[in-house]
Amino acid sequence: MSALPRTGVPAPDRAAVLARVSWPDEDNKIPREIFTDPALFGVEMDAIFTGPVWVLVGHEAEIPSPGDYKTAAVGTIPVIVVRGADGAIGVLVNACAHRGTRLVEGPAGNVLRGGFRCIYHMWTYDTSGRLIAVSMPEDFPAEFRKEDYGLPRARVERWRGAIFASFSDAAPPLREYLAEMTEGLDRVLGDGRLRYLGSVKVVFHANWKLYVENIYDGYHVTALHTGFQVVRLRSHGGERLVPNYERQGHLWGRSRSTPVSQLQPALRDMSLFETRTKPTTDHNMMVVFPSGVVTDYFDTIQLRYVVPLDVERTLIEFTFFGRADDAEETLRHRIRQGPQVLGPAGAITLEDIAALNRVQSSAVARGENVVLKGTPKRFPPYRHVDEAPIRHLYQAYRRLMGFDAARPR
């Protein structure tokens, strides 16, 4: 890993920014100013996203061939996720080492021939981020060496094809970081051989933490998602685990939903709610802290990348996958189901966007958001309908940010 220059908030200013937030004594209360303070957002991008975490940036199936690349982000840092000629996967900062020009525009491509060439002064990098060519280097300082001008690289580790990046030497090995999340990821990702089907992107007018906590929250599922009430779909048992809750606090929600044969047929085409590819209707909904969402709801295999844009806007990319050995008919079913249920125009996703927009727009009212359901229990596992896991999300957040640890309620 090449060192990533810290461009964010210097330490004394950081302390002043943190001091502006008054956390309540109870750990189930969340001060609303953390959703509206632009300076705090800057601190988060350093302390969380370039801190000792692993950020989900893609899946190998998105870049299957040598030279394939896609653009992504680690917090607000634009990166290129690329498969080299030797098959190795790298995550490079998407900015020329010379004058900072963005090297790659657009979502994806292939650079097997030519490498990443900057349009501004024609500096060219190979797929491992090494500077391999410079235009007209005459009259450069004598000490100029191309080796000194590689692109900053993130550490990269993979789990079942899912690609994680870290800009911190302090992040533990990925397997240790994921802890028992690996078991949930295995259920969704299988042996990792997936087929990429495409993505849909939408901007939530909400702080990134509101998006993430929505996944930790089991309480809203039946309350907000009217579609589940209309077809009488509910969870028949399940739990919300918080793997590694003493450190990063991931979320692993798992539950078994009503089989499609027992639902109220409110729609003419009920395949939206059908599970054909698994022996039971069990599904998993997971967050790899801080920003990677993984699920196998019904027959939909989905990764979501949470990209903070600014303090009140978050881009969510919903990516959809099949299994490499899916039959044609299975693939067709997945393509017809995924975005129709779990995309921005999905029958049970649109409401989240509407709800979070409203939480954000009233966060300026100050005061505290409160987490109640399931909180008499202090530790996971929680029930699948509980919102208590949100506490662990903010405990991890406060630890990384350097806020004082919350006193137990």
- Residue 374 tokens read as 């399931």
**Neighbouring-strand partners of residue 303:** 294, 319
Nearer CB in complex with another protein: 21/331: 331
**Applying CB under 8 A, which part among 46-54, 126-134, 180-188, 334-342 lies near another protein?**
334-342
Contact between 223 and another protein per CB under 8 A: no
> DSSP letters along 110-145, please?
E-TTT-EE-TTT--EE-TTS-EEE-S--TTS-TT--
- In whole angstroms, the minimum distance from the beta carbon of 340 to another protein comes to 6
Contact between 353 and another protein per CB under 8 A: yes
Find the binding residues for another protein in span 179-198 (CB under 8 A): 196-198
- Residue 351 tokens read as 């409401």
- The SS3 call for residue 335 is helix
- In whole angstroms, the minimum distance from the beta carbon of 60 to another protein comes to 16
Contact between 265 and another protein per CB under 8 A: no
Q: Would you say the C-alpha torsion 51, 54, 58, 63 has a positive or negative sign?
A: positive
Contact 311, 297 (CB under 8 A): no
Contact 359, 366 (CB under 8 A): no
Nearer CB in complex with another protein: 241/316: 316
Which position among 188, 348, 363, 371 is part of the footprint of another protein (CB under 8 A)? Answer: 348
- In whole angstroms, the minimum distance from the beta carbon of 235 to another protein comes to 18
- In whole angstroms, the minimum distance from the beta carbon of 348 to another protein comes to 8
How many Å apart are CA 388 and CA 196, to the nearest integer? 34
Nearer CB in complex with another protein: 338/389: 338
Which position among 28, 127, 166, 199 is part of the footprint of another protein (CB under 8 A)? Answer: 199
Which position among 1, 134, 324, 350 is part of the footprint of another protein (CB under 8 A)? Answer: 350
Which position among 176, 269, 310, 325 is part of the footprint of another protein (CB under 8 A)? Answer: 269
- Minimal CA–CA distance to 388: which of 249, 282, 289? 249
Which position among 129, 339, 380, 389 is part of the footprint of another protein (CB under 8 A)? Answer: 339
Tokens 């189930």, located at residue: 28
Contact between 344 and another protein per CB under 8 A: yes
Find the binding residues for another protein in span 227-246 (CB under 8 A): 227, 230
- In whole angstroms, the minimum distance from the beta carbon of 349 to another protein comes to 9
Contact between 72 and another protein per CB under 8 A: no
How many Å apart are CA 81 and CA 57, to the nearest integer? 8
**Applying CB under 8 A, which part among 115-123, 238-246, 267-275, 365-373 lies near another protein?**
267-275
- Minimal CA–CA distance to 346: which of 311, 385, 302? 302
- In whole angstroms, the minimum distance from the beta carbon of 202 to another protein comes to 4
368-370 and 29-31 beta bridge pairing: antiparallel
How many Å apart are CA 94 and CA 5, to the nearest integer? 14
Which position among 336, 359, 373, 383 is part of the footprint of another protein (CB under 8 A)? Answer: 336
**Applying CB under 8 A, which part among 173-181, 289-297, 341-349, 386-394 lies near another protein?**
341-349
Distances (CA, A) of 211 to 203, 290, 291, 298, 359: 11, 11, 9, 21, 10
Query: How many residues bind to another protein according to rule CB under 8 A?
Result: 34
- In whole angstroms, the minimum distance from the beta carbon of 270 to another protein comes to 9
Contact between 372 and another protein per CB under 8 A: no
Contact between 359 and another protein per CB under 8 A: no
Contact 370, 387 (CB under 8 A): no
Which position among 4, 315, 324, 359 is part of the footprint of another protein (CB under 8 A)? Answer: 315
How many Å apart are CA 267 and CA 356, to the nearest integer? 27
Range list of β-strands (E), 231-350: 235-241, 251-257, 282-288, 292-295, 301-310, 313-323
Which position among 201, 234, 256, 373 is part of the footprint of another protein (CB under 8 A)? Answer: 201
How many Å apart are CA 311 and CA 209, to the nearest integer? 10
Residues that bind another protein (CB under 8 A): 107-108, 196-203, 205, 226-227, 230, 266-269, 315, 320, 335-336, 338-340, 343-345, 347-348, 350-351, 353-354
